[in-house]
Structure 1
Amino acid sequence: MALHTMKFGGTSVGSPEAIEQVISIIQREITAGSQVVSVVSAMSGVTDALLKSVKAATDGDRWTYQQINQDLRHRHEDAIHRLVEPPPTRESTLQEITRLLDEHIQLCEAINTLGEATPRIIDAIVSFGERLSSRVISAALDARGTKSIALESGDFIITDNNYQDAEPLWGPTEQRIVEKLRPIVANGITPIITGFIGSTPDGSITTLGRGGSDFSAAILAAYLDSDELTIWTDVDGVMTTDPRIDKRAKVLPYVSYTEVGELAFYGAKVLHPKTVQPIVTRNIPMRVRNTFNPDHPGTQIGAETVPTETIIKAVTSIRSISMLTVSGKGMLGVPGIAGRTFLATARAGANILMISQSSSEQSFCYTVRDENAPFVKAAVESELGAEIAHQDVDGIDIMSDVVIVTVVGGGMRGTPGVAGRVFTTLGNKNINVISIAQGGSECSISFVLEEKDLEIAVHSLHDLALASVVEETVY
């Protein structure tokens, strides 16, 4: 019997009507002869509300976090009353919701007393979103004749203690999934599992970062040896560009693991950037499909690269970034400047999105999120204080109001002239390219532009991608 792992995002479980659709999708797959493991996000807006309750508790605003708690209680109780008919199942689920939200209030009261919230307690609070939704969905599925159980992924996904952005400990995670989850599935029970959440070896709740439900679904799919992973969301699949920028965006019928990794990292909102990591070595196929249009085949994601006629498959962009430049004639031939800069950047809590260096070694630049830029500048200036004092390094310059635009396509590898076409297209629109980077995989080319040029750049480059969309769906 085939095993199918599915992940449903926040919009997919955002209302009783949406949950009805989720149940229909799960039951349809079971009727077709598959075992199903489902990973669910919090109901849309719940995680943000929980974070707001943390801030209110930190500020001593008891009324706000109590009101948030009541709003969450009413929303989930309403869903239960509308979705769960048999009284025993309904009552036990309501009791679970009450228990969880009472615990939420207790944690908020603790923050209020202490006047601060640690990353550990923040993770504990934001975990309630998935813990609540999983109970509702499992009870509704069970009430419709499909034997189900709500499970917490922290029982299976074991992580380090880097709260709010934890990394899985792969050995213990595989052992837990094999020993604890596989037998449940083998017994014909349909699990509804919390996304986004892990736990340390001693049982403290962690989270995998925003969007981590995709990642946790891929981890479970990998160690369950699933035949397929489907990410159910609110769009028809991976698109050629952001439809909010260019309404001509089309669904790509097929992309490779490598291509979707680039798309996710450089701004595509469909997938968490880490999603493909657990499944790529096991060659587990993945699809991105629309919960609200389940008859659309969506986008298939697999190991093989299928080039398109004009090579470029998609265009993505990232806003709200800053470019930092480190320069100085004294840097020429001096080892370690870049390494120390990047270590200081990491200590400032920032991820580097793109790097470019001049061949003279007298300057290099890299991009970080806007909110990180001032802290990164201060950290790097402190690290390179002696070099700046001796004028070997001129200083750290920040350029704001810039964006990263990336063209992606596995067929770009080894194909002459792709970069030329891209930059000729931009030049014809009088768009200045500030910085360029291309990885060794040759799957993408990224460049920094002024923010004012973003839309015309995406539209112009999207013309190249649209000409290359393969109309024949690959299965």
Structure 2
Amino acid sequence: MSQSSTLNNRHGKQLHKFGGSSLADPECYRRVVSILKDYSNEEDLIVVSAAGKTTNRLIEFLDALNKDGRIAHEHLQALRQFQIELVESLLTSEEAEGLVSQLHDEFSTLGELSYPLTDAERASVLGHGEVWSSRLLAALLRQSDLPAVAQDARAFLRAEFGTQPEVDRAKSYPLIKEVLAQHAHHRVVITGFMAQSECGETVLLGRNGSDYSATVIGALAEVSCVTIWSDVAGVYSADPRVVSDACLLPLLRLDEASELARLAAPVLHSRTLQPVAQSAMDLNLRCSYQPESGSTRIERVLASGAAQKSSLHSMKFCLLNWHLVQVTTLSVHRLKCLIVLSAHNWHR
């Protein structure tokens, strides 16, 4: 059975999260649609980051706004062109017209901003990228005969400002149930990275915020599995740039994954794993560029069998202070070495 068949045959609703590198250009969007055709089912949830470097461009715009209005305008115009080209490259002229009109209105509003901005106003600006990604992917799915709707997570995720804002699950749970009930028989494409405060202001969820929002939304929606798609296939036994026979680890226990996250492994973050630990769902890490290249599955417990050992215990190589060393045994409780998981850090 193929990996796509295995995922599609899982019981219950699933959630798929796509990072900015998976939505970097028109070809990436087409690849995501193909993945969702093969790996998702009706009523599955999809959480998206901003396309490519969109959030970085918005940060540059805000920084320039405080220093040089002309440069700020240039940043904004370049981003407007990028977003419009994405839409026009992917959608038919009829489908594109409405989205382009919305973009023009939103960029006109952004162009009228002036300093000083409040933290909430700044957060609202930086959240635009996820809104644009959600809207475009939902339209592209509909165009590909997959009923889909774009959904702003601020309609149901509640959080308050802080260094590392945490979603208030008690307040968010009834809201997400109400929202999802309105979208029966549709794939729901949800904005990552942000929530809303009780006073109606945008709250950014900070570093790794989109991955965190994906798992917390998955827990609230009671999905069976969250799959995070990025430009890497998962967790490797060693740095594949250094060790030629480094292998992809197909399975990790949640406690092992948590230990790696504690040691600042780039693919994993402790905030992303918290909702997994507090729910019954599993977490998959996969590569959107090569969907059939394998994956790492993070489970709360291993399958039955006392003799079974996880991939982490059988590894021969790991990284210590960025220098490769060989080890003979590896216990999650005594893990001293940081495993290199990929050549790239995941953006949000």
The alignment's C-alpha RMSD in Å is 3.0
Measured in 1, the distance between the counterparts of 2:316 and 2:48 equals 30
Counterpart check, 1:83 vs 2:108: no
Larger radius of gyration, structure 1 or 2?
A: 1
Between Structure 1 and Structure 2, the one with more strand by share is: 1
TM superposition shift of 1:144: 1.4
- SS of equivalent residue, structure 1 residue 48: helix
Instruction: Describe the superposition over 1:6-48 as per-residue Cα deviations: whole angstroms up to 9, x where unpaired.
Output: 0001110110000001011112234xx5532100011111111
Identify the residue that residue 27 of structure 1 maps to in structure 2: 37
Letter in 1 for 2:166: E
> Is the Cα contact below 8 Å between 2:237 and 2:315 reproduced in 1?
no
Instruction: Describe the superposition over 1:154-199 as per-residue Cα deviations: whole angstroms up to 9, x where unpaired.
Output: 112110122x632211211112112222x134x1111111111111
Within 5 Å, give how 1:54-453 maps onto structure 2. Answer: 54-59=62-67, 61-85=68-92, 87=94, 89-106=95-112, 109-111=113-115, 114=116, 117-162=117-162, 165-181=164-180, 183-185=181-183, 187-244=184-241, 246=243, 248-304=245-301, 306-308=309-311, 315=318, 412=331, 442=333, 444-445=335-336
> Is the Cα contact below 8 Å between 1:21 and 1:292 reproduced in 2?
yes
> Is the Cα contact below 8 Å between 1:308 and 1:411 reproduced in 2?
no
Instruction: Describe the superposition over 1:187-219 as per-residue Cα deviations: whole angstroms up to 9, x where unpaired.
Output: 111111111111101210011112211111101
> Is the Cα contact below 8 Å between 1:76 and 1:136 reproduced in 2?
no
Identify the residue that residue 45 of structure 1 maps to in structure 2: 53
TM superposition shift of 1:405: 10
Letter in 1 for 2:64: A
Q: How has the CA–CA distance of structure 1 residues 98 and 409 changed in structure 2, closer, same or farther, with 3 Å as cutoff?
A: farther
TM superposition shift of 1:292: 0.9
Q: How has the CA–CA distance of structure 1 residues 120 and 285 changed in structure 2, closer, same or farther, with 3 Å as cutoff?
A: same
Measured in 1, the distance between the counterparts of 2:273 and 2:26 equals 30
TM superposition shift of 1:126: 1.2
Q: How has the CA–CA distance of structure 1 residues 123 and 249 changed in structure 2, closer, same or farther, with 3 Å as cutoff?
A: farther
> Is the Cα contact below 8 Å between 1:406 and 1:444 reproduced in 2?
no
TM-score w.r.t. length of structure 1 = 0.63
Q: How has the CA–CA distance of structure 1 residues 165 and 404 changed in structure 2, closer, same or farther, with 3 Å as cutoff?
A: farther
Alignment coverage as a number of residue pairs: 325
Identify the residue that residue 368 of structure 1 maps to in structure 2: none
> Is the Cα contact below 8 Å between 2:251 and 2:310 reproduced in 1?
no
Measured in 2, the distance between the counterparts of 1:259 and 1:43 equals 31
Instruction: Describe the superposition over 1:233-271 as per-residue Cα deviations: whole angstroms up to 9, x where unpaired.
Output: 101111223445555532111111122222234232223
Identify the residue that residue 450 of structure 1 maps to in structure 2: none
TM superposition shift of 1:152: 1.1
> Is the Cα contact below 8 Å between 1:259 and 1:409 reproduced in 2?
no
TM superposition shift of 1:122: 2.6
> Is the Cα contact below 8 Å between 2:195 and 2:204 reproduced in 1?
yes
Letter in 1 for 2:234: G
Instruction: Describe the superposition over 1:80-128 as per-residue Cα deviations: whole angstroms up to 9, x where unpaired.
Output: 11111150x211111222233223223xx322xx3xx543333122111
Measured in 2, the distance between the counterparts of 1:258 and 1:410 equals 17
Q: How has the CA–CA distance of structure 1 residues 272 and 92 changed in structure 2, closer, same or farther, with 3 Å as cutoff?
A: farther
Measured in 1, the distance between the counterparts of 2:328 and 2:28 equals 34
After the TM superposition, which parts of structure 1 deviate over 6 Å for at least 4 consecutive aligned residues?
403-411
Measured in 2, the distance between the counterparts of 1:199 and 1:268 equals 29
TM superposition shift of 1:317: 6.6
Unaligned stretches of 5+ in structure 1? 319-402, 414-441, 447-457, 466-475
Q: Which has the higher contact order (CA 8 A, sep 6+)?
A: 2
> Is the Cα contact below 8 Å between 1:258 and 1:443 reproduced in 2?
no
Letter in 1 for 2:108: D
Measured in 2, the distance between the counterparts of 1:101 and 1:280 equals 40
Letter in 1 for 2:223: S
Q: Identity of paired residues, percent?
A: 25
Counterpart check, 1:7 vs 2:39: no
Letter in 2 for 1:37: L
Measured in 1, the distance between the counterparts of 2:256 and 2:245 equals 20
Letter in 1 for 2:29: I
TM-score w.r.t. length of structure 2 = 0.84
